[in-house]
Structure 1
Amino acid sequence: MSQTLRVVGRVLLAAALGVAGIAHFARTDEFLGQVPTFLPWRDAIVIVSGVVELILAIALLTLRGKRLALLGWVVALFFVAVFPGNVWQAVHGSSSFGLDTTTSRVVRLFFQPLLVVWALWCTGAWARRDRWRPTRAIERVEGS
C-alpha cells in the first residue's frame, strides 16, 4: 500500500510540474510576477524554469531505483531554488496567479516546504538517504 501511495504521489507531482511547466509558456506574464525585477533576462528565467519543470515531470514518470531517489533530491532543490521568488512576490505585493492579498501570498509560502517533503517522500529519496552518506562510501572502498 505504501508503495502504491508513493507512485500515486509521484504521478500527481509529475502532473503538477507538467502543468506548471506548460503554463510558463502560456502565461509568461503571470510567472514574471515571481521573478524579481532587478534580475536580468526575466523572460528567459521564466521559460528556462518552465523547461526544467517539464524535464523533472518526465523524469518523475520514467526513472526508477537509485536514479529516482537522486531525482527526488533534485526536485526538492528545485523547489528550494524557486522559493526566493515566492518570497519576493510576497514582500513586493505582486498579484500574479490571483494572489492579490498579503495574506494569500504569505500563506502560499508555507506550501513550498510541503512540496520539498512531497518530492523526497514520493521518490524514496528520504528513505534512501543513509545509502549516500560519505562515511558509508569510504567504508565500502576500505572494506573491498
Structure 2
Amino acid sequence: MKVKKLERLKFASLLLIVGFYMFAGANHFISPEFYYPLIPDYLPWTKAINVISGLAEILLALGLLFKPTRKLSAMLIIAMLIAFLPAHVYFIELGGCVHEGLCVPAWVAWVRLLVIHPILIAWAWWHRK
C-alpha cells in the first residue's frame, strides 16, 4: 500500500514540476521585461539569455515527461539551476529590488537563494529516475 501512495505522489510531483517549468519557460516570452533586469549587467546578450532560458525550461520540462529522456532532463534542469545562481546573487547585491521592476525585502532574496533554489534542485534530482 505504501508503494502505491509513493508512486501516486511521485507522479503528481512529476506533473507539478513539468507544469512549473512549462509556465516558467513560457513566462520568459510572455513577460520578458520581468527577466531582463534580473540578468546581471556583466553578462552580454540579455535578450538572448532570456530566450535561451525560456526555451531550456520548456524543453527540459517536456523531457521529464518521457522515461528515456527523464534522467537527462532532470540533470540538465539541475545544471540550469546552477547556471542561474549568478542571477540570484546579483538580485541579492541589488538589495532585492531591480530598477522599475521586482522589489522584495532582502531576506526574501536570500531565502530564494538558500532555501528555494536547493529545494528546486532536490525536486529535479528526485525525478531523475
For normalisation by structure 2, the TM-score amounts to 0.84
Report the Cα offset of residue 94 of structure 1.
Answer: 5.0
Aligned length: 122
Where does structure 1 lack aligned partners over 5 or more consecutive residues?
125-144
Equivalent residues of 1:72, 1:120 under 8 A apart: yes
- Partner Cα distance (1:17, 1:71) in 2: 11
Q: Which has the larger radius of gyration?
A: 1
The equivalences for 1:66-85 within 5 A come to: 67-85=69-87
Equivalent residues of 2:70, 2:127 under 8 A apart: no
- Residues 48-103 of structure 1: CA deviation (Å, up to 9, x unaligned): 10011110111112x215x3223221211111111221111111235357442211
- Partner Cα distance (2:103, 2:127) in 1: 28
One-letter amino acid of the structure 2 residue matched with residue 64 of structure 1: K
Where does structure 2 lack aligned partners over 5 or more consecutive residues?
none
**Equivalence for 2:49:** 45
Report the Cα offset of residue 8 of structure 1.
Answer: 1.2
**Equivalence for 1:117:** 122
- Partner Cα distance (2:121, 2:75) in 1: 9
**Equivalence for 1:135:** none
For normalisation by structure 1, the TM-score amounts to 0.76
